[in-house]
């Protein structure tokens, strides 16, 4: 199964373009592109869109996203998941993580969860 990613508008624009370049099979959208929420859409509305269209939200919003998710779940809603990028990792390493996760995940594996990258350990992590 391959996951579908929606990149938050505050995520570096290199992420969607590089994900598409590195793996053309990935479904990657970014807030502000056609047929997705426009730039400026509030986070609770983005979570509703992700729920409706089965996209995992990729964001760097560590402060308010846990609150938005809790409110979303308290309202009886669900989301396929939220991945929070690691600011201490390079863009390339975060991209590797997103590709690895997309290719090796089970359906519903991240439902209603916030996942902080990285999930895997690289040889460079030991240095």
Q: Which of 48, 53, 52, 55 is nearest to 69 (CA)?
A: 48
pLDDT (mean) for 21-39: 96
Does the structure show a pLDDT above 90 at 120? no
pLDDT digits (tens, 9 = 90+) for 36-87: 999 999 999 999 999 999 999 999 999 999 999 999 999 999 999 999 999 9
- CA 123/CA 127 separation, integer angstroms: 7
Domain ranges of the chain: 4-126
Architecture per CATH, 4-126: 3-Layer(aba) Sandwich (3.40)
pTM attached to this predicted model:
0.92
- CA 60/CA 91 separation, integer angstroms: 12
């Amino acid at each position: 199964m391959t996951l579908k990613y929606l990149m938050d508008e505050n995520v570096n624009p290199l992420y969607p373009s590089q994900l598409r370049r590195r793996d053309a099979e990935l479904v990657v959208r970014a807030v502000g592109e056609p047929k997705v929420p426009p730039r400026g859409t509030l986070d609770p509305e983005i979570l509703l869109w992700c729920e409706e269209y089965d996209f995992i939200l990729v964001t760097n919003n560590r402060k308010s996203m846990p609150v938005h998710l809790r409110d979303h779940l308290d309202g009886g809603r669900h989301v396929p998941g939220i991945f929070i990028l690691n600011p201490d990792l390079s863009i390339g390493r975060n991209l590797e993580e997103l590709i690895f996760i997309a290719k090796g995940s089970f359906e519903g594996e991240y439902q209603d969860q916030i996942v902080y990258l990285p999930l895997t350990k690289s040889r460079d992590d030991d240095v």
